[in-house]
Amino acid sequence: MFFKILIANRGEIALRVIRAARDLGIASVAVYSEADRDSLHVRYADESVCIGPPISAKSYLNREVIIEAAKKANVEAVHPGYGYLAESGEFARACRDAGLVFIGPTPETLELAGDKIRAKAIINRAGVPVVPSSPGGVGSVDEAARFASEIGYPIMIKASAGGGGRGIRVCPDEEVLREDFPVAKAEVRAAFGDDSLYVEKCLVDPRHIEFQVLADKHGNVIHLGERECSIQRRYQKLIEEAPSPAVKPKLREAMGRAAIEAARAVDYLNAGTVEFLLDREGNFYFMEINARIQVEHPVTEMVTGVDLVKEQIRLARGDKLGYTFEDLNLRGWAIECRINTEDPDSNFMPSPGTIEEYNPPGGFGVRLDTHLYQGYALPIFYDSLVAKLVGYDLTREGAIRVLKRALQEFTIQPVKTTIPLYLRIVDDPAFQEGDIHTGYIKKFVPDEDDEEDE
Amino acid sequence: MGKRVEVRARMSGVFYRRPAPDEPAYVEVGDMVKKKQVLGLLETMKVFQKIKSPAAGKIVEIVAENETPLSDDDLVFVIEA
C-alpha cells in the first residue's frame, strides 16, 4: 500500500479522501490556498502545504506548484478529488513524469474522455447509442449558430473540458445562443482554464441516469449500478439517489453492460461514471464519461457497501477487482441532497458569509459529508457546495423520511442554503412516487434568466 | 453637470473588468454607457454575474481594481447620468 498521498483539492472532497487514506493507514498531505488556511482539510491532514493565492488558477489549478509540493512532501501518489485538476491529462502526465502515481485514469484516457466529442464517437462505434452533437468544438458563435440550426433548437452549449454544469447553457433559439455563448466561454475559462465549447441537441425532459464503473490494471471492468440524478437546475445536480426508481433489473443489466463497454472503449482505469439520458420509452443515450470520483458517489457507497475512494487508492496501486456487481447484493435506498450556500428564493444567488450557527443532523441512516464548522468563514473564491446530506433506509419511502428529518435538524445560519427547497421537494407527491425528470425542478423554481433587470 | 450615480457590488466577489484576460475592458473612464450595459463581471463562488449600468451616462470613475475581491456593497463605478 502507499505510505503517503497528497490530496490536490479542498472542501468536503479533500476531507473524504483524507478519511479514506487514514482508514487505509496512509498518511495524507493537504494543499491549500491563502484563503483556505482555516479550512478543515488543512486541520485533518497529517501535513499541509500552502500553494498560493486565493484565485484557483493560481493555487488549486497550478500544476507545477502542486507537483512541487508532492515531491517535497515525498508522497507516492496524488488524489485529485473532483473538479480542478481531476480530469486534466496534462496534470496526470506531469505526475507520471515526476514519478508520482495519479489516482485516476491514464493521461491518455483523461484526454480522450475530456474530448467529449471524440469520446462520444468512439463509444458510439462500440455500439452504445448517443445524443446528436456537433462533430467538433465550435470556435465561434457563428459556427455554433450554424450547427444549432442544423440539428434544430433547443440546443445546449457545453464545455469540452469539464463538468459541474459550468458553461452549460440551454438555448431555445439563436438570439439566446448569441447572447450566452461569450458568457459560457468566460465561465468555462475561469473554471477549467480551457474555453472550448460544443453544441448538443437537447432532449425534452429525459431522466439522468449514470453508472458507476471501476476498472483495474488487469483488464477487469465492473459497474456498481446506477444513480439517478434527474433533479438538477441548470445541469447542476441537486438531488441524487441510488438505485433509480425508473430502472428495473432488465434495464439495469442492459445499461450496466453499455457502461462497461463504454469504459472499455476508452481503456478506462480506476473509478469513473458513465452518464446516460433515459427517455420515457426506456431508450438510453450515452452522454459522457466523467473520469473522476463524483460528488454524488456516496449514494452508491451506501447501497453497495463499497468505499469508492478506498477502491480508487487500491486500484491506483495495481490491486485486482475481486468482485462484480452481482456479488454485491444491492441493499436499500440512498438519497443525497447537495447543500449549497445559494438562495433558492432569489434565483440561487450565492450566499457567502460566516457560519455563526451550525448544527449538523445525525441518527440512524444519516450520512453527512461536509467541511463546515461553527465559525467558518466561507471563501468567496470557491464552489458553493458546502455539504452532502444522505438519507438511507431499506426502502425509498424510508430514505425520504430519514432525509426529511435530517434536513429539519440541519442548521446553517445566517447564510442562505438550499435546505428549504429540499424540504419542499421531499413533501412533493411526484417526488415521493419517483416521478422525476431533468425538468422537474421547474415546478419549484421559476425558469428565469439569471439577470434581474430591475 | 449630471447626477452622480454609484454602482456597487451586490454581494462579495471577485471583480473583472474584461470578459477575458486577453480582451479589452468592458468600459473605460470617459465612456458613454447605456442603461443596462454590461460594465464588468462579479464572480462569487464560481458564479459570474454581469454588473450592469443602472443608468445612461458617462463613466467618471472606476473604483475597483481588476481581479480583486470586493465586499458586499463596495463601490465599483461612478457614473454621471
> Max alpha carbon distance in chain B (Å)?
39
> Under an 8 A CB cutoff, do B45 and A55 touch?
no
Same domain for A261 and A175: no
Measured between CB atoms, does A166 come within 8 Å of chain B?
A: yes
A380 touches chain B (CB under 8 A): yes
Cα-Cα-Cα-Cα dihedral sign, residues A399, A401, A402, A403: positive
A·B CB contacts under 8 A: 59
Nearest-CA neighbor of A189 among B39, B19, B13? B19
Q: Are A350 and A342 in contact (CB under 8 A)?
A: yes
Query: Chain centroid to CA B68: how far?
Result: 12
Q: Is B35 on the interface with A (CB under 8 A)?
A: no
Identify which of B45, B48, B52 has the shortest CB distance to residue A382. Answer: B45
Does B49 reach chain A within 8 Å, measured CB to CB? yes
CATH of the domain at A13: 3.40.50.20
- Any CB–CB contact under 8 A between B45 and chain A? yes
Which active-site residues of A does the annotation give?
292
Question: Under CATH, what is the fold of the domain B4-80?
Answer: OB fold (Dihydrolipoamide Acetyltransferase, E2P) (2.40.50)
A110 within domain boundaries: no
- pLDDT one digit per residue (tens) for chain A, 454 residues: 899 999 999 999 999 999 999 999 999 999 999 999 999 999 999 999 999 999 999 999 999 999 999 999 999 999 999 999 999 999 999 999 999 999 999 999 999 999 887 898 999 999 999 988 887 788 889 999 999 998 888 899 988 776 667 778 889 999 999 999 988 888 888 887 788 898 988 887 899 999 999 999 999 999 999 999 999 998 899 999 999 999 999 999 999 999 999 999 999 999 999 999 998 888 899 999 999 999 999 999 999 999 999 999 999 999 999 999 999 989 999 999 999 999 999 999 999 999 999 999 999 999 999 999 999 999 999 999 999 999 999 999 999 999 999 999 999 999 999 999 999 999 999 999 999 999 999 999 876 554 443 3
| Contact: B12, A380; criterion CB under 8 Å | yes
Mark whether A149 and A237 lie in a shared domain: no
| A55 to B67: CB separation less than 8 angstroms, yes or no | yes
CATH number for position A140: 3.30.1490.20
Mark which of A155, A175, A201 sits at the end of a domain: A201
**HSE-up of residue A184 (Cα within 13 Å, Cβ side):** 31
Q: Which domain holds residue A88?
A: 4-103
Selecting from A166, A186, A352 the residue whose C-beta is nearest the C-beta of B19 gives A186
Residue A203 to residue A114: CA distance in whole angstroms? 22
Residue with cell 439495469: A252
Residue A451 resides in a domain: no
> Residue B48 is nearest to which of A187, A382, A383, comparing CB atoms?
A187
The total number of structural domains in chain A stands at 3
* DSSP assignment string, A336-388: EEEEESEEGGGTTEE---B--EEE---STTEEEEE---TT-B--TTS-SEEEE
Do A171 and A137 sit in the same domain of this protein?
A: yes
Q: What is the ipTM of this complex?
A: 0.84
Smallest CA–CA distance from B18 into chain A, residue: A186
Write out residues 343-362 of A within 8 Å (CB-CB) of B.
349-352
Same domain, A41 and A140: no
Spatial distance between the Cα atoms of A452 and A200, rounded to a whole number of angstroms = 27
The answer to whether residues A92 and A62 belong to one domain is yes
Per-domain residue ranges for chain B?
4-80
- Residue that finishes a domain, picked among A149, A177, A201: A201
**Residues A166 and A80 placed together within one structural domain of the fold:** no
**How far apart are alpha carbons B7 and A451 in whole angstroms?**
16
Residues A214 and A346 in one domain: yes
A284 & A378 share domain: yes
| Residue at A290 is within a domain | yes
* Cβ–Cβ gap B43/A54 under 8 Å: no
A448 domain-assigned: no
What CATH number is given to the structural domain containing A289? 3.30.470.20
CB spacing of B46 vs A352 below 8 angstroms = no
